Structure 1
Amino acid sequence: MASLPDDVRDALRPLLPPSHSIVHAEHLTDLWAGYGAIFRLTLSSAPPPSSSSSPPPSRYTLILKYIDAPAPSSSSSLSSERKRISYVVETNFYARFRTRLPADVHAPSLVGTALTSRGGRATLLTDLRDGFPEFAEKRATLSPSQVHLAVEWLAKYHATFSGLAQRVDLDDFFPPPSVPSSSPSGTDDGDRTGLWRQGGYTYLSTRLSELAAIAPTSKWGRLGLHKDSPLPYAIDWCLRSPRLRSRLTLCHGDVKAANMAFSSPSSSSSSAGQAVAFYDFQYPGLSLGVQDLAKFFATSIPTSLLSPSASADELLKMYHDILIDALPLDQLGIRDAHEARTQWYPLADLEADFDLALVAWTCFLAGWSGGFWGNVAWLTDRAERLLCDEAWTAAVLQRWRHEGKGEMPDGS
């Protein structure tokens, strides 16, 4: 049995009903750079004893995410600041945004969160293992039906939050860690209750060192992906500035198979025989939904589903169809699904945005110390074809210069 620090146990007590107690703590994993740990807690729900025939206490499990990140300082690195803020964002997501999800868009639910006496944070979440025992990180690959479930989940999730940028106070959202806070002096990160102003963790303003690592004479540098080329900045601007701002939604921010869990086929009434739940919401923020799709396709989809006979375009069309059907049309001021499909976000526009997202992901990996991973051949082939297309690059640059006035990302 893992040992929970006394301050963590003390913080958890007010979050539990009086008759519930922790009987076991299983250490699941440590967090990045020793910033805490995740535990599976077994709890006992014991009614007050009334007679010798009282039923035995019932037991259930919850997930404890214990955060003990160091306070920010002048010596903090960009990576440490990004990760520290991500834990605050994750708590905010479960507290304020998780409840907006439709019943069939599954994710852990927040039980409660509290600060410990030593300044850490203890967050209790429902345990996905109860309804979703098949964790994708333990599989060699996803099945085609599981890929379809994940695409459906993403489409409904993105539909739910479409137009969010026009309905929230962005001053309450976190800027990139490299950008000074615009909040009044003295406002602490913990006072913010929003998410990231820009979702994900590989966008350009927070990855300028990776861009600088791409040599202009390298393969990707010769194709225009390096710090002295305008192309990476143009691509980044186009992704941040869709033709209709209401197309911006809330991305998950780290979509990969390792952040999914599936129900047992016999325990779900879905058409595919299973249901999927997503977890690890550390990087949700404003974004185009295709940026989630780009990472998912490039890292986690079986290559057989990306072949010419079963192309990514079919999955994009499936996503688009579900997205349109699930949109909150009234909130977006759209008359009907036909208008949404043909004017608000035509499939051709979504496919064009997906191409931008793939090249942006390629640009990050080309300069990242970890290098390329996932469906490397498919990704690099598709990105290279786009970058070699002079008409494509000219159109991206023209839009950036004409509409974006050549705007550069913060920190560049």
Structure 2
Amino acid sequence: MWGNNDDYSDNGEPVKLYVPTQGPPRKNSTAPIESHIGGVAFSELGPAPTCQHCDDNMKLLVQLYRIENQMERFLTVYGCPQSACFSKLKFENGFSYGNGVMSCRMLVRPIREKPKPSAPAAPVKSSWYSDDGDDMDNDWGADTGSDNDVADLESKIAAMEANLEDGAMPKKEAAAAKTPKGTVPTAKVSPDSFPCYMLNQQVEPPAPRQQIEEDDVGMGASDDKIRNMLARYMAEEEDEDILAALSGTAGGGGGAGGEADERLSEEDRILLGFQDRLRRAPRQVVRYAPGGIPMWSIPTEAPTVPSSPDGNPRSFECQLLPPLLLTLNVDKFSGAEQSESGINGMLSDGMNWGSVAVFTRANPTSEVETEEVLLIQKSVDEMSEMQGQPKMDLEPAIAVVEDMDDDDEFTPDA
């Protein structure tokens, strides 16, 4: 099992990340063996779920395809980007289950063989280049000695010339494009769907090693290590003034030794840890760590995830990360004008979340598409509102520069 700060599971398995391919989005969705974000889901999956607030079809956020234990596994996550719908999500302690605005589905089935292209038909041998009856003196093959063929050919040529003169020559209809056998059909992306990007899977890069100078030993260690080092130093130190300064009991002198150490709050620690993991691969959109622990950006206790219909608990499988919203440009599909201007408007409209964790059942029914559980965490920029504080005003302020000289003010030319 992965912890919040673990790079490997108990079995030594690293966390897997899904990163979109670079380049413009594709016009067509992909074959089922490819994982992607945006576009449309595999055609053999059920139709897209409907938003319970606007009755429109939700848009595909991500489709993951994996093969496990000789079974195909499709996992799809949908969401409605309408600002009016997403604003109706009910968050309790910073979390929501989707409330009909986001949905997750899973389909597990035996691996199906791909159709193989049929062998091309053997070409019919023409008599024009046949060697049958060749007498070595006739380069055009056997001589039938019949004048009927020549007469028939002349009559057909005359009929064609007559049709050309009368303008009655039939036009050949354009042949419809045929899908080559053995290829999986692709579904055309709807103009209403998010742009489609293929996903590449990679192992999460390890944490960078910090270069610690001899003078900075202990600066990057934990608080417990620092306290232990300080305790050993104080046990060996004999100077009473130094001991008094370190313990905060020195009189007079306006030193800061008596003040409590300024440490990061729990909120800042969690957020910085979340940002550090994202910084290892800034373009990651899906974090895949089945059986692990979701990586949250806000220090709030997650609610209990509902069990599956068979009574077995669901387990964490993967989570969607904020770079997904930027890659798919979800604000373009919010369907409403910004309620605020400037940067505040960018943060207040459309689909916005801090992370979306996916919990799936352990024993899904084969070849039956099931509804799974999403746990949506509120966005970090909404954290102040969640804590009962007014939302930070991010509008640009007007900078006032004091005139420090006695010269006359600059007057532009008339």
Give me the TM-score of the superposition, normalised by structure 2.
Answer: 0.21
Greater relative contact order (Cα < 8 A, sep 6+): 2
Larger Rg over CA atoms: 2
Q: Which is helix-richer, 1 or 2?
A: 1
